[in-house]
Amino acid sequence: MLFKQQALLRQKLFVLGSLAIGSLLYLVARVGSLDRLQPLCPIDGRFGPHAQDEIPLRALQFKRGLLHEFRKGNATKEQIRLHNLVQQLPKAIIIGVRKGGTRALLEMLNLHPAVVKASQEIHFFDNDENYAKGIEWYRKKMPFSYPHQITIEKSPAYFITEEVPERIYKMNSSIKLLIIVREPTTRAISDYTQVLEGKERKNKTYYKFEKLAIDPNTCEVNTKYKAVRTSIYTKHLERWLKYFPIEQFHIVDGDRLITEPLPELQLVEKFLNLPPRISQYNLYFNATRGFYCLRFNIVFNKCLAGSKGRIHPEVDTSVITKLRKFFHPFNQKFYQITGRTFNWP
């Protein structure tokens, strides 16, 4: 009799345990579903002063689920209308610079629940063929978002392309512009390294950096070499200042974004008038990669592509010294114009 009672008790406990686990799994799935589909509250007046301390960043609610289907083109017009989703022109653009950390900056800003990124470089303003397709073509290249969110795109070629400032001004004269820079010589070598890797993949030969960066006839810095020219930041910025006041630009320290990203991201949040939402919780250092990776929530992490952080070839120290001496006066003028000083040689 005792054995039968014990067996019956074990059976009841098993059933109750199964029900509890099933209920828990249902709640987890339900919360995850709601987190993906529930629209974010409008920014203004909806965030308490300590909201970021109360809950982890809920960035996935517009990056997964339904919005993912919209990006793949699987949503109907009725679904789009029902969820009040739109394709908005960007309110901020990362205009450059190439090899300054534009991709890292865009992905990190995408941690913010009020930011939606364009996944690909659109090259609308720097490509005559694309530009001729019109602003509506450009808008339809943007991701779906909720009306209160801001869309950001990045195309590093914008910064150095002569026609771009006027074209962007005609679209939106009050747009916010982000420029991320690195120490000019390091950036030039990184630029060279990316091109070199592309040549090697195609089994093609390529000149050494020293031969491209230094004019063999004069032994001076070769300003016709694009990697050098791009690093003369002040020359390009002066062209932009013909259309936009300096207050519409924010300069991001690309070197610091690698080693200490959070303070740089907080400055960008402030510039974009966003409530502070990106925290140290969202950034963790990957010792294997040697870079910070992104944590959207407890189950979704992301590291940048393996192509980031390429090992640079060794460059003759005399060439590095010559380049740094060449860039120095341009750097000083850049500090003066932007109001931001860097510890560049």
In the chain, where the domains are located: 84-338
Is 292 one of the annotated binding-site residues? yes
- In the numeric block, the tokens 């630009």 are attached to 249
Say how far apart CA 102 and CA 153 lie, in whole Å. Answer: 10
The confidence band for 300, taking pLDDT boundaries of 50, 70 and 90, is: confident
Q: Which of 4, 99, 140, 226 is catalytic?
A: 99
pLDDT digits (tens, 9 = 90+) for 91-131: 999 999 999 999 999 999 999 999 999 989 999 999 999 99
Is 328 one of the annotated binding-site residues? no
Q: Does domain 84-338 have CATH number 3.40.50.300?
A: yes
Say how far apart CA 221 and CA 54 lie, in whole Å. Answer: 54
Is 235 one of the annotated binding-site residues? no
The average pLDDT across 297-318 equals: 81
Name residues whose C-beta falls within 8 Å of residue 59's C-beta, 6 or more positions apart in sequence. 110, 111, 112, 113, 296, 297
Q: How many angstroms separate the first and last alpha carbons of the chain? A: 88
Asked if residue 143 lies in contact with residue 71, where contact means CB atoms within 8 angstroms, the answer is yes
Residue 68 has pLDDT above 60, yes or no: no
pLDDT digits (tens, 9 = 90+) for 126-151: 999 999 999 999 999 999 999 999 99
Is 311 one of the annotated binding-site residues? yes
**Mean of per-residue pLDDT scores for the chain:** 83
For residues 59 and 203, the model is more confident at: 203
CA torsion angle for 333, 336, 337, 342 (degrees, to 10)?
80
Q: What is the share, in percent, of the chain residues with pLDDT greater than 70?
A: 75
pLDDT digits (tens, 9 = 90+) for 211-228: 999 999 999 999 999 999
Is 270 one of the annotated binding-site residues? no
Q: What is the share, in percent, of the chain residues with pLDDT greater than 90?
A: 65
The reported pTM is: 0.78
- For 133-152, give the DSSP string: T-HHHHHTTSPEE-TTSEEE
Closest-CA residue to 16 (of 104, 8, 278): 8
C-alpha gyration radius of the chain: 25
For residues 42 and 15, the model is more confident at: 15
Say how far apart CA 75 and CA 79 lie, in whole Å. Answer: 6
pLDDT digits (tens, 9 = 90+) for 162-179: 999 999 999 999 999 999
For residues 128 and 284, the model is more confident at: 128
How many CB atoms are closer than 10 A to CB 203? 6
Is 324 one of the annotated binding-site residues? no
Name residues whose C-beta falls within 8 Å of residue 132's C-beta, 6 or more positions apart in sequence. none
Is 310 one of the annotated binding-site residues? yes
Question: Has 99 been annotated as catalytic?
Answer: yes
At 145, give phi and psi (nearest 5°).
Answer: -155, 165
- What six digits make up the tokens of 3? 């054995």
At residue 61, the pLDDT reads: 46
In degrees, to the nearest 5, what angle opens at C-alpha 161 toward C-alphas 156 and 165?
95
